[in-house]
Amino acid sequence: MQRKSGPSKVTKMAVSLSAIMLLSACASGDGEATASGEATAPAAGAACTVKVGVAGSQTGGLAYIDVPNLEGFELWAEQVNAAGGVDGKFTIETVVKDTRSDAAQSATVAAELVAEEISILITPGDADPSIAAGQLAQDAGIAAVSWFGSSPILPLAVGDHMFSNAFGDNTQAKVLADHATEMGYKNAYTLGSPDSAYTNLLPGYFKEAFEANGGKVVGEGTFSMGQASFSVIVDEIKALSPAPDVIMTPAYEPDFPTFIKALRGAGITAAVLGTDGIDSPTTLALADIAEGVTYTTAGVLKNEGAMSTFFTDYNGKYGKDPETIYAVTGYELGLTLDAVVKQAQSCDADAIWQAWSNLEGAQGITGAISYKGGDRMAIREVALVEIKNSERSLVGTFSPDPATVPKAQL
């Protein structure tokens, strides 16, 4: 009896908590709707504070992307404020709240931040929680920017105030498809997962672009994120006729290491193409197993060239080298905001949104970043990287013609 009654009490408690959270989220959101736009409204050009609300995942499954992005952004904010602010007068104030990698919590946190009269909202590096948070910013007339959520459905699902610091998944899929074609691969296998927009839609974008190039997708597999074993999928690939000469997957940690270990363990030597989610030391540490894996990302994380100053500054603040490119993209989001505020000459949420919409050629570390004329995903170069001797090696950087990029699927 005790065992039976326990979970039912827990369930009741969970339902009550959810209801309270939902109500508080709605209450905060309503309160903000009337307050936005009037938050910081000194005359254009006068000194003021740009209040940046960060609804990011400090814990949970998205912390691996949001934490380094925040570190990069805070480094930029510290440097800018030390120099007197953007243009010497617009100081940056960052308010950070943890969304715990949860869509409902993202909405709650976003509502709280919007109520604090922020100038701009930063949302998690994934579409699903960003949609939840972005809708509140949209209603309040505040621009929202995802750390690096790359699903192009994100701005479509939310509205004209939602942006992403990332290139679209359709764009990176096009780069991968063109590379596969250039390498002479004819038959591809794709492996996706219905568990997120990122893992669900990327294989479809790749298929569309690869088949438009004359290739053929001979098999399409699916996995559950965090599933115990990939043996069955590997058996399925082994049984395919014709055998694929390239395998494309948006799987990332911890699924990508599991998959490629099973794949190589079974003796399958087909080329493997991945996406920006695997740009991490974990992939490099797979040593021989990951040799030759080629993937799209924002840039090559190496302490050289344009990135060496960033490495020095990051190390000075955090006492370690950046582990992933997401630290750089976070800093670049700061550089983008820098260009936007210079353009807007204001801390007003509406002025910042308009300047963001019309931004052209902001200088990031990995290249120029624009939004004008796009679909509110960042218009930026896609780097193609191959793992050689457990190190990142640049194959090239690409900006596909938008007319040839698969259309975003909502």
Partner 1 sequence: MDALISYLVNVISLGGTYALLALGLAVIFSVLGLINFAHGELMTLTGYVLLAGILTGQPFWLAVFVAVIAGGISAALMEFAAFRPVRNASGATLLMTSFAVSMLLQVLFQNGISPRGQAVPVPTWLTTSLSIGNSQISKVQIMSITVGVLALLALKFFFDRSYWGWAIRAAADDFEIVGLMGVKASRLISFAFLLSGLLAGVAGVLWVIQRGSVDPLMGFKPVLAAFIVAVIGGLGSLTGAVAGGFILSAIEIALQTWLPPNVMPYRDAITYTIVVIILSIFPNGIFGKRTQEKV
Q: Which residues bind partner 1 (CB under 8 A)?
A: 1-3, 5-7, 9-10, 59-61, 63-64, 67, 194, 220-222, 224, 226-229, 231-233, 235-236, 238, 253-254, 257-258, 260-262, 264-267, 280-289, 323-324
Give the residue with the Cβ less far from partner 1, 6 or 42.
6
| CA–CA dist 188, 381 (Å, integer) | 25
Choice between 28 and 190, CB closer to partner 1: 190
What 3-state class would DSSP assign to 157? helix
The Cβ of residue 21 has, within 10 Å, a number of other Cβ atoms equal to 14
**Which residue in 105, 196, 111 sits closest to 150, CA to CA?**
196
If the CB atoms of residues 66 and 338 are measured against partner 1, the closer one turns out to be 66
In the complex, the smallest distance separating the C-beta of residue 308 from partner 1, rounded to whole angstroms, is: 23
CA distance 154 to 131: 6
Nearest approach in angstroms of CB 17 to partner 1 is 12
Residue 5 or 34: the one with the smaller Cβ distance to partner 1 is: 5
Closer CB to partner 1, 2 or 34, in the complex: 2
Contact partners, residue 306, CB within 8 Å, separation at least 6: 365, 366
- 9 vs 82, beta carbon nearer partner 1: 9
- Give min distance, CB of 62 to partner 1, in A: 9
Task: Say whether the peptide bond before residue 281 is cis (omega within 30 degrees of 0).
Answer: no
Beta strand pairing call for 187-192 and 216-222: parallel
Q: How far is the CB of 328 from partner 1 (least distance, A)?
A: 15
Smallest separation (angstroms) from partner 1 to the CB of 318:
13
Which helix or strand (DSSP H or E) is residue 98 part of?
A: strand 90-98
CA–CA gap between residue 125 and residue 149 (Å, rounded): 4
Q: How far is the CB of 223 from partner 1 (least distance, A)?
A: 9
CB of residue 256 to partner 1, shortest distance in Å: 9
- Return the number of the residue (67 or 110) whose C-beta is nearest partner 1: 67
Q: Which one-letter amino acid corresponds to residue 115?
A: A
Omega prior to 152 cis, within 30 of 0: no
Residue closer to partner 1, measured from CB, 3 or 34: 3
Q: Provide the H-helix boundaries in 145-196.
A: 153-158, 169-182
Q: Give yes or no for a contact between 180 and 248, defined as CB atoms under 8 angstroms apart.
A: yes
CB of 100 to partner 1, least distance (A): 10
Q: Taking the CA of residue 368 as centre, how many other CA atoms within 13 Å lie in the half-sphere pointing to its CB?
A: 7
- Residues 323 and 298 sit within 8 Å (Cβ to Cβ): no
